[in-house]
Amino acid sequence: MIVGEQKPLAEIMELLGAGSKAADAKKVLVAGCGTCVTVCFAGGEKEVGILASELRMKSKLDGHPIEVDEVTVQRQCEWEYLDALEEQLKEYDVVLSLACGIGVQAMNERFPDVVTLPGINTTSLSLPVEQGVWEERCQACGDCILGLTLGICPIARCSKQLLNGPCGGSQNGVCEVDPDIPCAWQLIWERAIKFDRMDDLLKIQPPKNWSTSRDGGPRKIVRDDLRLAEEEIE
């Protein structure tokens, strides 16, 4: 899941007062998202309500009260859910989005005449390992090698993103960067022993295809079998 954490209130207040469009903002819509950021307690309906109240109180205490309203859609990353906001957005100077960075950009792209600002920092693709704790598990490199590394990603979980085994700094199964970080390659090797696949790890592998990663520019997937024909769109 996409994980984020809410920006500090001081930073949000600064954002609302920055830029030629937002400088005169008197009416703000705090927009939440009902999926990933709801699950990680950063931008769901509850968090929208709390932040909206904080903004009202803070702006009033500062002597420049702002009218703040609230809305939460199922997903800010899909047009069909955003389109329901089109008429409502005409009432506001600024939208403060509590969705991930994709949602913020989707709002600005769908409604280019309204400024949408980010209220959270998008941090990672993570797993909720326990209540209130999320750990990164994937960096969406586009060329998954989990089949080779027995379900443990060295790109996301090795601090050095090593693909040829542990570094010399790994000691007693922990990473030299932080003793709270398990050595990814230690975990991989232990699973290889468990499933008797050590030989697979010892085989020489071709270089990883990094052309599918972010370094090649914004990525795009096109599924022609799922696209609507032109006559259907019309």
Q: What pLDDT is recorded for position 4? A: 95
Bridge partners of 71, per DSSP, are 31
Cα–Cα distance measured from residue 156 to residue 149, given in angstroms and rounded to the nearest whole number: 12
Instruction: Render pLDDT for 6-36 as a digit per residue (tens, 0 to 9).
Output: 999 999 998 888 433 444 678 999 999 999 9
Cα–Cα distance measured from residue 228 to residue 183, given in angstroms and rounded to the nearest whole number: 46
Sketch the domain layout of the chain as residue ranges.
Answer: 2-124, 140-216
Backbone angles phi and psi of 154, in degrees to 5: -75, -20
pTM, full prediction: 0.84
Cα–Cα distance measured from residue 77 to residue 100, given in angstroms and rounded to the nearest whole number: 9
- One of 1.10.10, 1.10.287, 3.30.1740, 3.40.50 is the CATH number of 2-124, namely 3.40.50
Cα–Cα distance measured from residue 28 to residue 69, given in angstroms and rounded to the nearest whole number: 6
Tokens of 23: 């400088």
Q: What pLDDT is recorded for position 22? A: 42
Q: What pLDDT is recorded for position 230? A: 58
Residues in the chain with pLDDT < 50?
18-23
Q: What is the mean pLDDT of the chain?
A: 90
List strands edge to edge, sheet with 133-138: 2-6, 120-130, 133-138
Q: Let me know the angle formed at the C-alpha of 221 by 216 and 223, rounded to the nearest 5 degrees.
A: 155
CA distances, 233 to each of 82, 106, 135, 228, 230 (Å): 18, 20, 41, 6, 5
Cα dihedral value 124, 129, 133, 137, nearest 10: -20
